[in-house]
Amino acid sequence: MYHVNIVVAKNPAEVGKLAADQFEAVLRVKPACVIGLATGSTPLPLYRELIEREKAGRIDFRRVRSANLDEYKGLAPDHPQSYRRFMQENLFDHISIKPENTIVPDGLAQDVDAMCAAYEKQIEDWGGVDVQLLGIGHDGHIGFNEPCDSFPRMTHEVELTDMTREANKRFFDSIDEVPTAAFTMGIGTVMAARKIVMVVTGADKAGILRQSFFGPVTPQVPASVLQFHPDVTLICDEAAFPG
Ligand code: PGA
């Protein structure tokens, strides 16, 4: 097991600031870096912070490329709950990143294998992900890699678990509208990132964090694989602290 850096922040806003410090450091050293991005509630303070820091002239997204972790299957890019739309509204529309330099899996892909292979190839052609942002699901998922029997390597289609659909129904009018499948980077894709920053807040995540970082490494707890990554920084608030 490698050493995992655990940073404990006072509250979610502080988690956002500390995570922004990590991204700012990478952007300053490598202005044309590749960042891996995530959706969900937890990254929102980070995205607000990044927007403010670019406005303040501390960082510059003009040469940055970004690849998102996942997208719901069947949702068009402009669907109100699509992850493409989430990224536009919460980050991309407010920073100088070029639209052609942002990729999110295509929720409407007909040829799923081709789309997934092209997604991997784009990341590879960019030279790989320099810093990957992650959240964690209550079942230990990262991206939409749900508990299963082996760690999926590449970008692929997944069926969403009832727990994940239940957690995400807050964004939809009803559970029936929550897609039953998604496309996600694989565990291999995530593990290939040179640096990983995970943000976690809330007491309801403390248990799964403890299992992920201090329990056995198993695909039944997908985030546990991060114990084998050489550069992980976990930034959590006091409520989520797994110690
Ligand atoms: P959340 O999602 O930040 O909305 O809790 C995290 C996840 O499911 O990966």
40 lines ligand 1 (CB under 6 A): yes
Structure confidence by residue, pLDDT tens digits, 12-44: 999 999 999 999 999 999 999 999 999 999 999
Atom number in ligand 1 closest to CA 42: 3
Q: Are 41 and 71 in contact (CB under 8 A)?
A: no
Give dist(CA 215, CA 189) in Å, integer.
22
Please indicate whether residue 229 is annotated as part of the active site.
Answer: no
* Candidate list 14, 24, 60, 139, residue with the active-site label: 139
Ligand 1 center to 134 CA (angstroms):
9
Please indicate whether residue 106 is annotated as part of the active site.
Answer: no
Please indicate whether residue 49 is annotated as part of the active site.
Answer: no
Please indicate whether residue 139 is annotated as part of the active site.
Answer: yes
How many residues make up the chain in this entry?
243
pLDDT at position 1 is: 63
Q: What is the pTM assigned to this prediction?
A: 0.96
Domains of the chain: 10-194 (3.40.50.1360)
Ligand 1 center to 236 CA (angstroms):
13
Nearest CA residue ID for atom 1, ligand 1: 40
* Candidate list 70, 71, 106, 130, residue with the active-site label: 70
Amino acid in the structure at residue 42: T
168 lines ligand 1 (CB under 6 A): no
16 lines ligand 1 (CB under 6 A): no
pLDDT at position 3 is: 78
Bridge partners, 134 (sequence order):
198
Pairing, β 181-184 against β 156-159 = antiparallel
pLDDT at position 199 is: 98
Structure confidence by residue, pLDDT tens digits, 43-100: 999 999 999 999 999 999 999 999 999 999 999 999 999 999 999 999 999 999 999 9
Among residues 130, 109, 133, 132, the alpha carbon closest in space to that of 119 is found at: 109
Ligand 1 center to 220 CA (angstroms):
18
Is 241 a residue whose pLDDT tops 70? yes
